[in-house]
Amino acid sequence: MRESFLVRTVTFYLPLAGFLIFLLFPFYWMLVTTFKPNADLYNPSINPFWTWHPTLDHIKFLFTQSHYPFWLWNTTWVAVVSTLISVSVSLLAAYAIQRLRFPGSGTLGIGIFLTYLVPPIILFIPLADIVFHLHLFDSLWALVLTYPTFLIPFCTWLLMGYFRSIPLELEESARIDGASRIGVLARIVLPLSLPGIFSATIFAFTLSWNEYLYALTFITSPEKLTVPVGSIIELVTGDVYHWGPLMAAALLGSVPVALMYSFFVEHYVSALSGALKE
């Protein structure tokens, strides 16, 4: 038993502990820097991994002397609306491709996923022209319009894989009993697909929340920026980095995504497993 415990410690527990330290250390560093006074931040003789004089000055600065409340609201609004649009469209597209089996459905499914592999840095140039002609430049609707271009392909592929794991006999039995295609989708497929829908929602929300390139390109007004862009533009003046407010902005900006993962992590893993098996 002692040898077995040593083997598990060396082969499992120690690598797991190292991975957790590597993964969680950035969040710990943000937390310590958020509550560390400026005098301690720039004093090399102070322990960089801890503070004995915690302060809320950096958080107060964010909410009273910057546009951070506007950035937080803008990011939340864009992420929620983009996620709702993308998941709704992906749900219908994935079900149609997987269940209706019209000519070319398989090729269409592969083509939709391949569009996800196109780098956004290539797409933002033609998208900028579209946004300009639609008079949406410097508007949050520009982000709502462009984010589904990279959210829908992956969500569709994910939901297609999950729909394959649902027995087709359930839908056929409902159709025999007189249910319409919409009724089957609403009463049978959607309840059984909740883990996959949760997974697609988390994925879409996370990417919308953290997106940087399109938000930097299409938004110019300081009060309309999102958290990733506003934190870099407004909290860095020249070559001066306001580390306290920067870390506070990053820490507070990561809380919503962390909460979503903590509540729905089991559904997220099960949906990814179902999609990857197929």
Helix (H) or strand (E) holding 27: helix 14-34
pLDDT tens digits, 180-205? 888 888 888 888 888 888 888 888 99
pLDDT for the residue 85? 95
The percentage of residues in the chain with a pLDDT greater than 70, rounded to a whole number, is 93
Is the entire prediction scored with pTM above 0.75? yes
Q: How far is CA 79 from the centre of its chain?
A: 8
Higher pLDDT among residues 108 and 247, named by residue: 247
pLDDT tens digits, 29-53? 999 999 998 888 877 778 888 888 8
pLDDT for the residue 113? 74
Q: Is 48 helix (H, G, I), strand (E, B) or coil?
A: coil
Q: How far is CA 84 from CA 69, 81, 105, 187, in A?
A: 23, 5, 24, 20
Q: Taking phi first (over 0 means left), then psi (-120 to 50 degrees means alpha), and beta for anything else, what does residue 175 get? A: alpha
Euclidean distance between CA atoms 278 and 163, whole angstroms: 10
The chain-wide mean pLDDT, for the chain, equals 84
pLDDT tens digits, 145-184? 999 988 998 888 888 888 887 888 888 888 888 888 888 8
Euclidean distance between CA atoms 62 and 69, whole angstroms: 8
212 touches 120 (CB < 8 A): no
pLDDT for the residue 276? 44
Domains and CATH numbers, the chain: 2-55 (no CATH), 66-277 (1.10.3720.10)
pLDDT tens digits, 100-146? 877 777 777 778 778 777 887 888 888 888 888 888 998 999 999 99
Q: What is the dihedral of CA 210, 211, 212, 218, to 10 degrees?
A: -140
Tally Cβ neighbours within 10 Å of residue 172: 11
pLDDT tens digits, 214-233? 999 899 898 999 999 998 88
Closest by Cα among 243, 244, 210 to 229: 210
Q: Long-range contacts: 32-40, Cβ < 8 Å, 24+?
A: 33/243, 33/244, 33/247, 33/248, 34/58, 34/59, 34/244, 34/247, 34/248, 34/251, 36/244, 38/244
Beta strands in the chain (DSSP E): 236-237, 240-241
pLDDT for the residue 164? 82
Half-sphere exposure of 264 (CA within 13 A, CB side): 21
